Chain A
Amino acid sequence: GQQLNQSPQSMFIQEGEDVSMNCTSSSIFNTWLWYKQDPGEGPVLLIALYKAGELTSNGRLTAQFGITRKDSFLNISASIPSDVGIYFCAGQKTGANSKLTFGKGITLSVRP
């Protein structure tokens, strides 16, 4: 099935640094969702975006819904060790029955 493009697979940053992650697609989506997954747990929703151009923050996290509706980015500012984990993007087309399309995730490591 279709996948969203997230790269690189892994990112290594120093504590205190900002990091930005992109998610791109060849298709248009009407909803973009960003999740974080810790080892042994389920994905936890970080930010939901519903409108092209929308910029939404959740604490140190900021995400934007691309104006073309084919991409989204997530920015983490002033990273801390607990930001370590896998970050997934997901897109959904119109309709409550519309299924999610996922990226394969980016594994973030934060060096103290």
Chain B
Amino acid sequence: DAGITQSPRHKVTETGTPVTLRCHQTENHRYMYWYRQDPGHGLRLIHYSYGVKDTDKGEVSDGYSVSRSKTEDFLLTLESATSSQTSVYFCAISESSGAGNTIYFGEGSWLTVV
């Protein structure tokens, strides 16, 4: 357990509405990530953050924005939800040790866009 909490865990929303998913971590990790997981595609990186107010795009960033105003919170916003954004969203953090980096995932947020 790397102290990651995602909210909400499940959400149903209508097409065209904005949606924000929150990732909260308690262990002061610098790097945080948002992934989506879809059948046939596996885990794909949406956006990531390497510090407060420092973010960058991943491979599937279109239609998503992120913000990180505090170390502990990384928010993912779907500006205008579409059915193609129905997915499971995972937040992750990177933990460094003397040996190397390890990525830990949250429990996921299931989003359905109708």
Query: With A and B bound together, what is the CA distance between A97 and B30 in angstroms?
Result: 10
B90 CB–A CB distance under 8 Å: yes
The B interface is mostly helix, strand or loop, or mixed, namely strand
Question: What distance in Å separates the Cβ of B66 from its nearest Cβ neighbour in chain A?
Answer: 15
Chain B hits for A1, CB < 8 A: 44, 59
B84 CB–A CB distance under 8 Å: no
Question: What distance in Å separates the Cβ of A21 from its nearest Cβ neighbour in chain B?
Answer: 15
Chain B hits for A99, CB < 8 A: 33, 45, 48, 58
Interface size on A, residues (CB 8 A): 27
Q: In the bound complex, do residue B94 and residue A96 qualify as a contact, i.e. CB atoms below 8 Å apart? A: yes
Chain B hits for A44, CB < 8 A: 105
Q: In the bound complex, do residue B42 and residue A45 qualify as a contact, i.e. CB atoms below 8 Å apart? A: no
Q: Could you jot down 25 A-B contacts, CB within 8 Å?
A: A31-B101, A31-B102, A33-B103, A35-B105, A41-B107, A41-B108, A42-B90, A42-B107, A43-B105, A45-B103, A45-B105, A48-B99, A48-B102, A50-B99, A88-B42, A90-B103, A92-B101, A96-B96, A99-B33, A99-B45, A99-B48, A99-B58, A104-B40, A104-B41, A105-B42
Given A92-B101, A100-B43, list of 4 further CB < 8 A pairs? A35-B105, A99-B45, A100-B45, A102-B43
